Amino acid sequence: MSKGKVLVTGADGFIGSHLTEELVRRGYDVRAFALYNSFNSWGWLDQAPAEIRDSLDVRCGDVRDPFFVREAMKGCDAVLHLAALIAIPYSYVAPENYVATNITGTLNVLQAARDLGISKVVHTSTSEVYGTARFVPITEEHPLQGQSPYSATKIGADQIALSFHSSFETPVAVVRPFNTYGPRQSARAVIPTIITQIAAGARSIRLGATSPTRDFNFVADTVSGFIAVLDSPASVGEVINIGSNFEISVGDTARLIAEVMGSPVEIQTDEARFRPAGSEVERLWACNAKAKRLLGWEPSYGGLDGFRRGLTATAEWFREPSNLKNYRVGQYVV
- Do residues 306 and 218 lie in contact, with contact meaning Cβ atoms separated by under 8 Å? yes
Mark whether 159 and 224 lie in a shared domain: yes
Across all residues in the chain, what is the average pLDDT? 96
Distance CA 269, CA 252 (A): 14
Q: pLDDT by residue (tens digit) across 134-181? A: 999 999 999 999 999 999 999 999 999 999 999 999 999 999 999 999
Mark whether 73 and 121 lie in a shared domain: yes
Provide φ and ψ at 235, rounded to 5°: -85, -15
Residue 332 forms part of a structural domain: no
Please tell me the total count of domains within the chain.
2
- Report pLDDT for 1: 54
Pick from 158, 181, 169: nearest CA to 253: 181
Q: pLDDT by residue (tens digit) across 39-78? A: 999 999 999 999 999 999 999 999 999 999 999 999 999 9
Mark whether 236 and 195 lie in a shared domain: no
Residue 87 forms part of a structural domain: yes
Domain limits for position 206: 183-214+246-284+302-324
For range 126-130, the mean pLDDT: 98
Mark whether 63 and 102 lie in a shared domain: yes
Ramachandran region of residue 117, left (φ > 0), alpha (ψ -120 to 50) or beta?
A: left
- Quickly state the pLDDT bin for 331 (edges 50, 70, 90): confident
Distance CA 208, CA 250 (A): 9
Mark whether 115 and 201 lie in a shared domain: no
Q: pLDDT by residue (tens digit) across 188-237? A: 899 999 999 999 999 899 898 999 999 999 999 999 999 999 999 999 99
- Report pLDDT for 269: 85
Is this prediction's pTM over 0.85? yes
Which CATH number fits the domain that encloses residue 254? 3.90.25.10
Residue 334 forms part of a structural domain: no
Mark whether 101 and 63 lie in a shared domain: yes
Residue 82 forms part of a structural domain: yes
Distance CA 228, CA 224 (A): 6
Distance CA 41, CA 53 (A): 12
Mark whether 84 and 100 lie in a shared domain: yes
- Report pLDDT for 329: 86
